[in-house]
Amino acid sequence: MKPSIHPDYKEVVFVDVSNNFSFKTRSTINTKEKIVWEDGKEYPLAKIETSSESHPFYTGTQKIMDTAGRVEKFKQKFGARASGKASVKS
């Protein structure tokens, strides 16, 4: 790798502000805040609003749309008009 063209890849602590869940990983993000982690060392701190601990997809609280019901309702309402084809006379 060429020197001085790549960002600094370091360990960073991310904190989910919605539920105070935190994890340490490596990143190139630049932060102004620091935090002392469980191992006693100081790491850059990045605050995030959603993580796997609070996102509805991962927590199982995601709402599933009833698309089959919507399709049937559409067919009942517009089925006769939408399925009828206009005849072309020569």
* Listed residue (25, 27, 12, 20) closest to 53, CA to CA: 20
pTM of the predicted model over 0.95: no
Is residue 43 over pLDDT 90? yes
Neighbouring residues of 6: CB distance < 8 A, sequence distance ≥ 6: none
Residue 37 confidence (pLDDT): 92
- The answer to whether residue 41 scores a pLDDT higher than 90 is yes
In this structure, the number of other CB atoms found within 10 A of the CB of residue 14 comes to 19
On whether the CB atoms of residues 51 and 21 are closer than 8 A, the answer is yes
**Six-digit token pair at 48?**
């995030």
